[in-house]
Structure 1
Amino acid sequence: MSVIVAAIMYLFIPALLVFLCQKFQILDKIGVVVLSFGLGILLSASLDFSSWIDPQSLTELQTNLSEIAIALALPMLVFSIDVKHSLKMAGDTMKSMAVALVSVMLISFLGALLFSGQLNNIWQIAGMSVGAYTGGGPNMAAIKTAIDADQAIFVTMTTYDILLSALYLIFVMTIAKPLFGLLLRPFQETHDTQDGGVHESSDHHDKFSHLADETANSYKVLADVKTMPQTLKVLLISACCVGGAKLIAGLFPASMSSAVIIIAITSLGLGASFIPYVRQLANSFQLGMYLILVFCFTMGTMTDTSIITNLNLDLFAYIGFILLGSLVLQAMICKLMNIDTDTFLITSSAAIMSVPFIPVIAGALKNREIIIPGFAAAILGYVIGNYLGIAVAYATRSMLGG
Structure 2
Amino acid sequence: MSALFAAIAYLLVPALLIILCQKFQLLDKIGVVVLSFGLGIALSAGLDLPGLIGKDGLTAVQTNLSEISIALALPLLVFSIDVKHSLSMAGDTMKSMGVALLAVMIVSAAGAVLFNGQLQNIWQIAGMSVGAYTGGGPNMAAIKTAIDADQDIFVTMTTYDILLSALYLMFVMTLAKPLFGLFLRPFESNGNHDDGESQDKFAHMADETANSYKVLVNTKTMPQTFLALLCSGVVVGLSVGLASLLPKSMSSAATIISLTTFGLAASFIPQVRQLANSFQLGMYLILVFCFTMGTMTDTSILTNLNLDLFAYIGFILIGSLIIQALICKLLKIDTDTFLITSSAAIMSVPFIPVIAGALKNREIILPGFAAAIIGYVIGNYLGVMVAYATRHLVGA
- Name the TM tier (shorter chain): 0.7 to 0.9
Distance 1:8 1:256 in 2: 32
Matches within 5 A, 1:282-297: 282-297=276-291
User: For residue 381 of structure 1, what is the aligned residue in structure 2?
Assistant: 383
Deviations 1:165-211 (A, max 9, x none): 32213432x3432223445559xxxxxxxxx9563231321222344
1:101 to 98, 102, 105: 105
User: For residue 310 of structure 2, what is the aligned residue in structure 1?
Assistant: 320
Shift of 1:365: 5.6
1:215 to 209, 212, 216: 209
Distance 1:372 1:138 in 2: 21
SS of aligned partner of 1:208: helix
Distance 2:351 2:11 in 1: 21
Q: Which amino acid aligns with 1:388?
A: T
Matches within 5 A, 1:232-243: 232-243=226-237
Distance 2:308 2:264 in 1: 37
**Structure 2 stretches lacking a partner, 5+ long:** 132-142, 179-188, 354-367
Q: Check whether the contact 2:145–2:256 (CA below 8 A) recurs between aligned residues.
A: no
TM (norm. structure 2) is: 0.78
Distance 1:139 1:218 in 2: 29
Q: Check whether the contact 2:257–2:380 (CA below 8 A) recurs between aligned residues.
A: no
Q: Check whether the contact 1:185–1:340 (CA below 8 A) recurs between aligned residues.
A: no
Distance 2:281 2:46 in 1: 30
User: For residue 83 of structure 1, what is the aligned residue in structure 2?
Assistant: 83
Matches within 5 A, 1:190-339: 199-202=192-195, 203-307=197-301, 316-336=306-326, 337=328, 338=333
User: For residue 397 of structure 1, what is the aligned residue in structure 2?
Assistant: none
CA spacing shift, 1:214–1:129, aligned 2, 3 Å: closer
1:344 to 328, 342, 345: 342
The reply to whether residue 362 of structure 1 matches residue 349 of structure 2 is yes
RMSD in angstroms over aligned alpha carbons?
2.9
Shift of 1:348: 4.6
Q: Check whether the contact 2:148–2:252 (CA below 8 A) recurs between aligned residues.
A: no
Q: Check whether the contact 2:155–2:293 (CA below 8 A) recurs between aligned residues.
A: no
Distance 1:307 1:177 in 2: 23
User: For residue 72 of structure 2, what is the aligned residue in structure 1?
Assistant: 72
SS of aligned partner of 1:226: coil
CA spacing shift, 1:139–1:247, aligned 2, 3 Å: closer
Shift of 1:223: 0.9
Deviations 1:19-73 (A, max 9, x none): 1111111111211111111111111111110111111221121111111111111
- Same amino acid, percent of matched pairs: 45
Shift of 1:374: 2.1
Q: Which amino acid aligns with 2:345?
A: T
Shift of 1:368: 5.9
Q: Which amino acid aligns with 1:42?
A: A
Deviations 1:213-260 (A, max 9, x none): 332111111111111111111110010011111111122221121211
1:162 to 155, 158, 170: 155
Shift of 1:294: 0.9
Q: Check whether the contact 2:130–2:379 (CA below 8 A) recurs between aligned residues.
A: no
TM (norm. structure 1) is: 0.77
Distance 2:176 2:68 in 1: 37
Distance 1:220 1:106 in 2: 44
Number of aligned residues = 347
Moved beyond 6 Å, runs of 4+? none
Distance 1:215 1:23 in 2: 11
Q: Check whether the contact 1:249–1:257 (CA below 8 A) recurs between aligned residues.
A: yes
**Structure 1 stretches lacking a partner, 5+ long:** 143-154, 187-195, 350-360, 395-402
User: For residue 171 of structure 2, what is the aligned residue in structure 1?
Assistant: 179
- Greater shift, 127-136 or 240-249, is seen at 127-136
Q: Which amino acid aligns with 1:343?
A: T
Distance 1:127 1:23 in 2: 43
CA spacing shift, 1:265–1:141, aligned 2, 3 Å: closer
Deviations 1:257-298 (A, max 9, x none): 121111111111111111111111111111111111111111
- Greater shift, 329-338 or 2-11, is seen at 329-338
- Greater shift, 329-338 or 203-212, is seen at 203-212
Distance 2:208 2:110 in 1: 37
